[in-house]
Amino acid sequence: MRNSSENFTYSGLAARGIFGFGTIGQLEDEVAALGVTKVLVLSTPDQHDQAEALSVQLGALSGGLYSKAAMHTPVEVTQDALHVYSSAGADGVVAIGGGSTIGLGKAIALRTACPQLVVPTTYAGSEMTSILGQTEHGEKTTLKTLDVLPETVIYDVDFTLSLPPLMSVTSGINAIAHAVEAMYAENANSVLSLMAAEGIGALTKALPLIIANPHDRQARYDALYGAWLCAICLGSGGVALHHKLCHVLGGSFDLPHAQTHTIILPHALAYNAPAIGEALARINAAMATQDAAGALYDIAKNAGATMALKDLGMPEAGIEKAAQIALKNPYYNPRPLEETSIRTLIEAAWHGSRPTC
Ligand code: NAD
């Protein structure tokens, strides 16, 4: 379905994606195709064993492991990893994991111009973007440059089978948020909307099935496929109020990434609903519902996700602070930001109430 008679520009980012079950079997060929001779394999401490298995699989192409990737890409960790990278004589990286590990690979690529091969194991979507967030002395800065865009992404559904069900749902809703906002961002267009609708539909069908049975291979396949499409939306599309609020809340109160997205998305969507008629109709159709905001809330709540910011540890006094920061330097948003309504939105998310479109 096209947006009605628009002129538009679509700027896709060039990344190679390999998708399916067992696709990790193509790792050596794909690393060699990047023209590198030795890679450093990256992971978090939790995924050390998976990184080690990839290193063994790579044989002479592996220069070893670095398994200390951490949330929000601390610069000290990057510097430590760079030291290991040079000692190993590496000229490329393989990152296996979620946004934290992918962030470390991007940070190394930024400083060395090395090629990156990424094996995503969550649905967060960093692998398809040219965005890198880093923290130094407790302060987070974000940059956007094609220098950090991974060259090759191997989506292997098998690696997502171990993602705990609740984390699958919060990570999946984090992905859905990228597609929802791409539908009504400033540069929204028919090409992205197609991918966004397909991504939202695949994920919203798959997530309850994963909760019912985390080993449901078809649901895992659908969820990762949806996450890839949503990641493209983040990489090639724009964002609006939802992402602004999540950045403000994450940055000001150190709230966890995917859980914060899960709480905010239904409220941000309900806020924008009166201003996004055509996009809302597509989101509702993709989810087979009349009320996407309420339906997203229900998927998360039924999975046992935390639905109130207060339960993530945000103080009540933070509501006013967050509203003020969100209103300063706002991102583009289809509905103008009204101070009272924004405060009401954050208050509702703090209490964990169920919004409707
Ligand atoms: P994460 O990478 O921090 O992973 C959370 C935990 O889950 C880690 O311990 C990880 O090892 C573990 N894990 C990951 N996959 C697993 C699996 N399949 N089985 C078992 N455990 C697994 O979480 P995330 O939500 O993917 O990433 C969040 C970070 O990524 C944030 O810092 C966020 O800012 C960043 N991010 C960046 C972009 C971007 O475009 N730059 C996009 C999205 C997220």
Helix (H) or strand (E) holding 140: strand 139-144
The best mutation among 257, 260, 261, 265 to test binding of ligand 1, ranked by most ligand atoms within 8 Å of the C-beta, falls on 257
CA distance 63 to 79: 17
Question: Domain range spanning residue 33?
Answer: 16-160
| Closest residue by CA, ligand 1 atom 28 | 99
Helix (H) or strand (E) holding 239: none
Q: Do 200 and 60 fall within a single domain? A: no
Give the position, in ligand 1's atom list, of the atom nearest the Cα of 171. 25
Q: Do 123 and 254 fall within a single domain? A: no
> Which one of 110, 142, 160 terminates a domain?
160
Using only C-alpha atoms, the chain has a radius of gyration, in whole angstroms, of 20
Q: Do 128 and 73 fall within a single domain? A: yes
Q: What is the torsional sign of CA 341, 262, 130, 88? A: positive
Helix (H) or strand (E) holding 254: none
pTM: 0.97
Helix (H) or strand (E) holding 164: none
Ligand 1: centre distance to CA 328 (Å) = 28
Length of the chain: 357
Ligand 1: centre distance to CA 44 (Å) = 9
pLDDT at 4: 65
In this predicted structure, the answer to whether residue 13 has a pLDDT above a threshold of 60 is yes
In this predicted structure, the answer to whether residue 138 has a pLDDT above a threshold of 80 is no
Ligand 1: centre distance to CA 72 (Å) = 9
In this structure, are residues 34 and 90 in contact, taking their beta carbons and an 8 Å threshold? no
CA distance 347 to 87: 51
Ligand 1: centre distance to CA 124 (Å) = 6
CA distance 230 to 195: 7
Residue 7 counted as domain residue = no
CA distance 64 to 74: 21
- The count of domains in the chain is 2
Q: Ligand 1: residues whose CB is within 6 Å?
A: 44, 46-47, 71-72, 97-101, 103, 121-122, 124-126, 129, 131-133, 159-160, 162-163, 171, 257-258
The 10 Å CB-count burial string (b at 16+, else e) for 177-203 is bbbbbbbbbeebbebbbebbbbbbbbb
Q: Do 75 and 147 fall within a single domain? A: yes
Nearest to 39 by CA among 116, 97, 132: 116
pLDDT at 3: 57
- The per-residue pLDDT for range 244-296, each reduced to its tens digit, is 999 999 989 999 999 999 999 999 999 999 999 999 999 999 999 999 999 99
Ligand 1: centre distance to CA 173 (Å) = 13
Number of H helices, E strands in the chain: 13, 8
Number of Cα atoms under 13 Å in the Cβ half of residue 243: 19
> Which one of 160, 185, 211 terminates a domain?
160
Mean pLDDT within 109-128: 98
The helix, strand and coil proportions of the chain, stated in percent and rounded to the nearest 5, come to 60, 10, 30
CA distance 47 to 278: 42
CATH number at residue 172: 1.20.1090.10
Q: Do 311 and 274 fall within a single domain? A: yes
Share of the chain above pLDDT 70, in %: 99
